[in-house]
């Protein structure tokens, strides 16, 4: 490979066509390459037999199709699988596959660490090092598909992609949007817009921008029904409070013709799980295109929070349902290998420890 390596992996079709134009090739070569990469899981240009011999040789010499290296792999008793992938400089990111009866969900990371410092999340406690490139994001999907193989009908078990791994996706906007385009493209992974979900803690300007760039499913990490509590749990709320965040959510629904926004709500014992909190949540979301995903807290080393009891979780959900708000309780998966929601930590070096939305010198947020 030459020093000026071509980097086609993860590029959306339009950008890949531009890359081929600089090589003096026709635009349809981009579509051919995408079929090999994403439709057939072939990364060796020599095996791409419908490309010209000269183009295959050039790609073999100059293009970088390398995938993230697997540092470790763990399998949960419930079938969940987690890969720790090298991200350079001794750093590791984590990618999780969750098999279910009717679908298989791959949870991908968008950053090495996270700068949002959410008090109940292991990733946020790691600090932040850097954004992942689009090739590193799409590379996680390709690694998982390679490792999982095909099912009995010759299809990949990965049917859904969620940007819910390490990092805040909207703080790494362009690579995440590029990856979404490849995931949705018929010449890419060909996924339905309803099978790709971007989750955000609420960077409002980027959320408004997202509505103009893509129309994937949206999930919002809410976790509190009022600004006083959310300021403590999700520091970005100090910059973009709940009312402003919800305005952006409803705008997203309108501009993208989305059916609903999923609001994620981690239940923390004695912190945000009272009947009053449930009623306040109904006041925020009632009558709106909203669904609440209740998540029992998943503990990690050093946390001071505790999981709400099953009885409290059930009572909270029934209170939402009784008020006409759609609500489900997410079943905990992969917690025996620290792969459950909020447990991904990876390995983050040379960390930036000033959280996004917090000024230098302010204490780290905690409840």
Catalytic pick among 25, 94, 168, 264: 94
Query: What CA–CA distance (Å, rounded) separates 246 from 181?
Result: 25
Catalytic pick among 121, 180, 249, 341: 341
Query: What CA–CA distance (Å, rounded) separates 47 from 269?
Result: 55
Query: What CA–CA distance (Å, rounded) separates 225 from 60?
Result: 54
Query: What CA–CA distance (Å, rounded) separates 5 from 27?
Result: 20
Measured CA angle at 93 (ends 360, 156), to 5 deg: 140
CA atoms within 13 A on the CB side of 195: 15
Which residues on adjacent β-strands are paired with residue 328? 293
Q: 4 in helix, strand or coil? A: coil
Catalytic residue flag (residue 341): yes
Per-residue CA distances from 238 to 121, 130, 198, 228, 343 (Å): 18, 23, 22, 9, 24
Residues annotated as catalytic (active site), given as ranges: 94, 341
């Amino acid at each position: 490979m030459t020093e000026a390596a071509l980097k086609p992996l993860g590029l959306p079709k339009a950008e890949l066509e531009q890359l081929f134009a600089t090589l003096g090739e026709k635009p349809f070569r981009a579509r051919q390459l995408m079929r090999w990469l994403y439709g057939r899981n072939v990364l060796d240009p020599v095996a791409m037999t419908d490309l010209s011999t000269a183009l295959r040789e050039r790609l073999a010499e100059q293009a970088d199709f390398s995938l993230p290296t697997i540092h470790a792999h763990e399998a949960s008793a419930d079938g969940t699988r987690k890969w720790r992938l090298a991200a350079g400089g001794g750093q590791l990111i984590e990618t999780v596959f969750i098999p279910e009866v009717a679908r298989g969900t791959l949870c991908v990371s968008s950053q090495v660490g996270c700068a949002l410092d959410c008090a109940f999340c292991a990733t946020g406690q790691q600090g932040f090092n850097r954004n992942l490139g689009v090739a590193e994001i799409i590379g996680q999907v390709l690694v998982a598909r390679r490792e999982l193989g095909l099912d009995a009908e010759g299809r990949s078990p990965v049917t859904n992609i969620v940007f819910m791994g390490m990092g805040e996706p909207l703080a790494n906007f362009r690579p995440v949007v590029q990856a979404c385009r490849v995931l949705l493209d018929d010449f890419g992974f060909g996924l339905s817009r309803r099978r790709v979900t971007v989750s955000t803690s609420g960077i409002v300007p980027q959320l408004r921008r997202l509505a103009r760039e893509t129309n994937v499913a949206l999930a919002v990490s809410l976790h509190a029904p009022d600004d006083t509590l959310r300021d403590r749990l999700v520091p970005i709320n100090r910059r973009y409070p709940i009312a402003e965040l919800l305005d952006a959510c409803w705008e997203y629904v309108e501009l993208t013709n989305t059916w609903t926004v999923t609001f994620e709500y981690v239940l923390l014992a004695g912190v945000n799980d009272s009947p009053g909190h449930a009623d306040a949540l109904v006041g925020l979301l009632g009558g709106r295109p909203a669904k609440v995903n209740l998540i029992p807290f998943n503990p990690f080393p050093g946390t001071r929070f505790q999981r709400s009891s099953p009885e409290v979780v059930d009572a909270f959900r029934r209170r939402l349902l009784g008020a006409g708000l759609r609500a489900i309780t997410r079943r905990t998966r992969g917690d025996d290998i620290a792969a459950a929601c909020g447990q991904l930590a990876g390995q983050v070096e040379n960390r930036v420890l000033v959280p996004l939305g917090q000024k230098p010198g302010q204490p780290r947020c905690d409840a």
